[in-house]
Structure 1
Amino acid sequence: MHDRAITTEFGFQIDLQSCENLMRDGSKSFFSASRILPSKIRDSAIALYAFCRLLDDMVDDPNAPDNVIEQIEYRLDRIYAQNPVDIPADRALAIVVERFLIPRDILEALVEGFRWDRSGRQYHTIDDLCTYGARVASTVGAMMTLIMGVRDRAVLERACELGLAMQLTNIARDVGEDARNQRLYLPREWLEAENIDPDLWLQNPIFNDGISRVTQRLIEYADQLYERSSDGIAGLPRNCRSAIASASLVYSEISRQIERQGMDSISKRAIVSKQEKNIFNFKIASYNYL
């Protein structure tokens, strides 16, 4: 048993290198904040995010086969049977879900959100959008909390709110990119209140005052979630708090950048520089989360 554990850990570390390479190139905000997590937590978080990133890329691929969701569900079957397909992220996640007792229901909810993406589903109200965000983002917040060894309901709820806030920030940042790919996540009800026909706008996605106000509303909604979610950080292990606080600040800063560019995320893309992320990490680590 001891020899098997050593072999498993060795294989995990090899697969983790592949996961790290994927995250370094594809999820820079998370990767930056993850550097100040304890190594054991960070390794498992990297494995989780890498797997989610791979699934996201599969779903977004315009050339993906019609049965891409079924392929993902098959991979989950193999992971939870502790017989993952021969992909580094799958092998790594199989170890993580066993080690931290990650319920399959959480990953199934994530896949349901991906299914909605594949169907081109749109969202009429902000509540509808949050239902989607709960699947594709709150699930990740919940799993991260479990990886940190926390199962307290209130802390899990705050983690879900933080994941949702980050997803809404992503949506506000990517309005133009999504529209050019014929995807619309802004609440249709909000657009219609600005006398914008969502379907006509998708045919020619231009920035205007109405889009500006809708984007501002989304950012303000996300800001409320960031504020509420901050209460949960104190419930995390002390050596994990800085990383989560930093990630929250980095994503909040994306919103501030959107505001500085006049709410225009059609012709511009808000980014937080590597230097700014490092500054956030330093400030948080030297404040009161340690």
Structure 2
Amino acid sequence: MGATWLKPDFGRRRDKAACREMIRGGSRSFFFASLLLPPPLRDPAYAIYAFCRLSDDTVDDCEVTGLAPVESLYERLDLAYAGRPLDTPADRAFAETVDLYGIPRALPAALLEGMAWDCQDKRYETLEDLHDYAARVAGTVGAMMSLLLGARDPVVVARACDLGVAMQLTNICRDVGEDARRGRIYLPRAWMRGVGLDPECWLADPKPGPALASIVKRLLAEADRLYDRAATGIAGLPSGCRPAIHAARLFYREIGYDVLRAGGDSVTRRAVVPGDRKAALVASALAAAARRTEVDPSPPLVCNRFLVDAARNAPEPKLEPGPLGRAMRRIDNRVGWTVELFLELEQRERAAQMAAAARG
């Protein structure tokens, strides 16, 4: 007897709106890229990212509070998977998403493990150590998104995890100064000592310089390697989903390029990708999505193997694929609107900044 499919009628309207606004305010690059997703998939994607954002915000003060916030997140995760989520929009939407799309608990649980490492002030000596961290806090998101988009081939999931790790390495390079002001270093400490920087001494007085820039450039080169490999995996996604994921890849990669244009200085400045630049990158994303590409069959990074295995053993989704597939093909008419929205949002932000400066 065949599966009993459910219609893709996702979530409560208020919950969806709350998750959407959480992402719009907290992860603009992902929000912009998400506008290229087929409409039925946007709100479930927001639900996943909203839970990740909520988790990240919960552990922000764990240097003071210890592991208690992470323990509370594990409890919330258990409730979500038991079908009894906490009475918040993010929890309700996340519980529904993981149930409908067959996302195994091992994936968000690994995300929380990475956040526990933050609370424990875990140190990363080598690139492989940093890969382990990035796999948990970002490779997990790649695996969950792959399942959400209906791609369960282990090679495609491995490339999605590559993309997550690459994005996290970019985030680390962008946030060197911000992390240092919070008493944290995510750059490989062995690399720092290799260029004459004592990690603890530098942390006491974080400043940019040629030595630090060489490490940032080296880490961004590793991110670039993974972005290139991940790009091939996007070809394994449903065609209507490819432009959005290529856009996310290009947006995050551009953050790294902005760091490089500043000489590798992410201590005194924070790299950004303005809305008009994002709009220009949409054309590149569409071109990349249209190209025929063979998925790179390389095995997953060692750090990502357990994520690929978890996705391979994921339960079947409960959603009916037919209507979703048809919606995925209706993308061309959205592209011009999306570009216009990027530009409008950028103009609004600039106007708000000017008004705030005038009031100050």
Query: TM-score by structure 2 length?
Result: 0.76
Separation in 2 of the partners of 1:284 and 1:189? 36
User: 8 Å contact 2:62–2:119 — kept in the other structure?
Assistant: no
When Rg is computed on C-alpha atoms for both structures, the one with the higher figure is 2
Q: Which residue of 2 aligns with 1:153?
A: 154
The match for 2:282 is 281
Amino acid at match of 1:138: G
Q: How far is the alpha carbon of 1:63 from its aligned partner? A: 7.8
> Which structure 2 residues correspond to residues 1-290 of structure 1 after superposition, within 5 A?
9=9, 11-61=11-61, 65-66=65-66, 67-285=68-286, 288-289=289-290
Query: 1:42, CA displacement in angstroms?
Result: 1.2
Are the aligned partners of 1:84 and 1:90 in contact in 2 as well (CA < 8 Å)?
yes
Gaps of 5+ in 1: none
Change (3 A) 1:287 1:189: closer
Task: Quickly say closer, same or farther: Cα 1:101–1:288, change in 2 above 3 A.
Answer: closer
**Alpha-carbon deviations, 1:192-217, whole Å to 9, x = none?**
00111101110000111110101110
Q: Secondary structure at the match of 2:197?
A: coil
Change (3 A) 1:206 1:134: same
Instruction: Verify the 8 A CA contact 2:250 2:281 in the aligned structure 1.
Output: yes
Give the drift of 1:12.
2.7
For this pair of structures, how many residues does the alignment match?
A: 285
Structure 1 vs Structure 2 CA RMSD: 1.7
SS at match of 2:251: helix
Deviations 1:216-264 (A, max 9, x none): 1001010000011111011000000000001101111111111111110
The SS at the match of 1:183 is: coil
Runs of 4+ in 1 over 4 A off after TM superposition: 8-11
Residues of 2 paired with 1:10 and 1:42: CA distance? Answer: 10
Contact 1:19 1:47 in 2 (8 A): yes
Is the CA contact (8 Å cut-off) linking 1:32 and 1:278 kept in structure 2? no
Task: Report the Cα offset of residue 275 of structure 1.
Answer: 1.4
**In structure 2, C-alpha distance between the alignment counterparts of 1:184 and 1:160, rounded to whole Å:** 23
Shift of residue 39, structure 1, vs aligned partner: 1.1
Distance 1:162 1:205 in 2: 29
Which residue type is aligned with residue 61 of structure 1?
D
Structure 1: which amino acid aligns with 2:113? E
User: Is contact 2:146-2:160 (8 Å) kept?
Assistant: yes
Q: Secondary structure at the match of 1:102?
A: coil
Q: Deviations over 1:107-162 (max 9, x none)?
A: 11111000001111110000000000000000000000000011100000000000
Higher relative contact order (CA 8 A, sep 6+): 2
Q: Offset of 1:10 from its aligned partner?
A: 7.2
Gaps of 5+ in 2: 1-5, 291-330, 332-360
- What is residue 345 of structure 2 aligned with on the other side? none
